[in-house]
Amino acid sequence: MKRIRLLLLCLCAMAAVSVDAVSLDSCRMMALANNKQLKIADVKVARARYQHKSARAAYLPAIDAEASYVYNQKELALIGEDAKLPTMSFNPTTGGYDYNVVKKPDGEPLVANGVPVPSEVALLPKSALTYDIHNVFAGAVSITQPLYMGGKIHALNKIAGYAEQMAEYERKRIVGDVVYDVDVAYWLVVSLKAKERLAQSYVSLLDTLNYNVKAMLTQGVATQADVLSVRVKLNEARVDLVKTQNGVSLARMQLSQLCGLPVDTQMTLDDEIGDVLNADLPLISTEYDINEVYNRRNDVNELRLVVKVNEQKAVAERASMLPQIALVGVYSVTNPNSFNGFKNEFGGMFSVGAMVKIPLWHWGGNYNKYKVAKSDAVISRITLDEAKEQIALQVRQASYKMQEAMRVYRTARINCDSAEENLRTAELGFKEGLLAVDAVMGAQTAWLKANAEAVDAIVDVRLAKAMMEKLGVY
């Protein structure tokens, strides 16, 4: 559903490209809908969710089925030839059983090769103990229920849960990076477009001045040097205008690429339509609570989870030094039936038992693995503290930059007003013949510079605000 909503917003924004001006929010939504890294992050979130579900399955009994078939060339014979077994008869005198043997006339047993000769034997033919095992089938269904694994299953479940949260924080961090990149590209287009209009106005001013100076030359109140100096300035202004227009085109291409649109898409942005210099700036506060900044920072939350993951890894390694207990149930079946004279039929039975594994001695291997995991947890905590220090520095620098951008903006607005009045006065003085051409061109150049600096100051405020949003200040 999230992807569908993003796609619909993207389509709406693309439709807006052809008819209306595109807002900053529309550019953001298009970029988020088309960004490849964000799509990879979505897959990583889904993968982490599957891993978490897989880890939870370890709490439940595992049910497995096995089957096998074996073909044997020969039959199984338990004896090599027919067997003749001696028999016994009950002796009332002794109350026991005596072997039936051949007796001599004197009543003594007849002995042959040191063994009494039996008078009767029981015949056990070889065929009776020969079994058909040419085709052997076997199968089993087993159930294994872990009872106690030293806390390893619980630790792995927590690790999987933390990994899922880390994937979500990584996705949010990518969203923040994409939004910031779009903001920079958006305001670059707005800035260059405003400078393009300034350059056009500057060319118009010089063109008018050039016309007036030529007219004055014909009347003898201006020199050829005045005409040449104005013409040079006019040509320079036209070259600068072309450069600015090319910059606008390149900036639009970059913005279109970030939005996932063809680079030749012609977008008109909301903020480039009006007067950038007279647009109202949002009310921006430079005050912040650093602890709230930490809580909003996705990278800090990721590092906190890394600490928890390493702590749980230590628990999992410790489990290798503790006993492990599990219940096992098996139902096995064979053909030939080993429970009924190896008849060619299926026969089976149930088996239930318990399995206990107790680690005794591993020459310190398991203990050292546990200490390694504990060391990793310590390293991750130190890394988290270092990251917080770096973030605190970045936020403070961004706050100072915002304050500086606001001061520069206010000063630039004052300079714009002064340059406008200076230009008006210079043009009036030139018309009255009180000022030379160089003074007018100087006033025009100062007007262009003041307005360009004002545009830069406005964009710097916007970008400083975007940076503070990226840093989690608000």
CA dist 309 and 66 (Å) reads 36
Give pLDDT, residue 206. Answer: 92
CA dist 284 and 169 (Å) reads 26
Pairing relationship of beta strands 347-357 and 130-131 according to DSSP bridges:
unpaired
Give pLDDT, residue 280. Answer: 67
pLDDT in tens, 344-380: 888 888 999 999 999 998 898 989 999 999 999 999 9
By percentage, how much of the chain surpasses pLDDT 70? 94
3-class SS of residue 93:
coil
pLDDT in tens, 301-325: 999 999 999 999 999 999 989 999 9
**399 residue type, one letter:** S
Residue with tokens 């702590």: 311
Measured at the alpha carbon of residue 148, what is the angle toward residues 329 and 368, in degrees to the nearest 5?
125
**Crossing angle, helix 2-19 and helix 24-34, to 10 degrees?**
130
CA dist 87 and 356 (Å) reads 49
Give pLDDT, residue 10. Answer: 46
pTM above 0.85, yes or no: no
Count how many Cα atoms sit within 13 Å of the Cα of residue 220 in the half-sphere of its side chain.
0
Give pLDDT, residue 20. Answer: 61
**Among 410, 411, 405, CA closest to 461:** 405
CB contact set of 204 (below 8 Å; sequence gap of 6+): none
Count how many Cα atoms sit within 13 Å of the Cα of residue 447 in the half-sphere of its side chain.
22
Burial 275-305 (b: 16+ CB within 10 A, else e): ebeeeeeeebeeebeeeebbebbbbbbbbbb
**Consecutive 10-residue runs of the chain (474 residues): their mean pLDDT?**
42 43 91 94 95 93 93 86 86 85 82 84 84 89 92 93 95 94 94 93 93 87 87 94 95 93 88 73 76 92 95 92 93 86 85 91 90 94 95 93 91 92 91 84 93 92 91 86
CA distances to 255, 428, 469 from 279, in Å: 22, 29, 21
Give pLDDT, residue 5. Answer: 44
3-class SS of residue 303:
helix
Give all strands (DSSP E) within 202-361, no chain letters: 324-335, 347-357
